[in-house]
Amino acid sequence: MINFLEILKTNPCGVLATQNSNKVKTRVFQFLFADKNKVYFCTSSDKAVYAQLQANPNVSFCAFPQNFSPVLSINGKVVFVEDLALKARALDENPLIKGIYNTPDNPIFKLFYIDTEEVETFSFAEGARTYTL
């Protein structure tokens, strides 16, 4: 299996696809860190994406390097966490995010992970592959 966490570490910015009723919405998001199959991100509780993720936790996150090889898509369900140690880690490792939320106990600061169920990749050398976790 491809090491999808290494791809995320070197290409942390990507596109998160969510669903709002019948419509799919994409947004640019930044990968924060991972723990096994849990891929962490954050948002604010006052954004529409937060309500969408609560209503329908099924998402896909796509990241890729500048040369588009390999393209990575992580598919699974979002789980929100209120663990202050994990929130502190997110802030400590990401100064721009810390500048927005300041402290891990900020009530609008929402940390979540994708519980990765499936990883899809495409590379020019290997073609398309799907991995079920």
Does position 96 have pLDDT exceeding 80, yes or no? yes
d(CA 84, CA 16): 24
- Domain borders along the chain are 4-132
CATH number (3.40.50.720, 3.40.630.30, 2.40.50.140, 2.30.110.10) of 4-132 reads 2.30.110.10
Q: How many helices (H) and strands (E) does the chain have?
A: 4, 8
Question: pTM (2 decimals)?
Answer: 0.90
Average pLDDT in the 102-112 region? Answer: 98
Encode pLDDT of 35-76 as tens digits: 988 999 999 999 999 999 999 999 999 998 887 778 899 999
pLDDT at 1: 61
Residues 6+ apart with CB under 8 A from 65: 7, 10, 11
Burial class (CB in 10 A: 0-12, 13-18, 19+), 56: middle
pLDDT at 125: 78
- Choice between 129 and 102, residue whose per-residue pLDDT is larger: 102
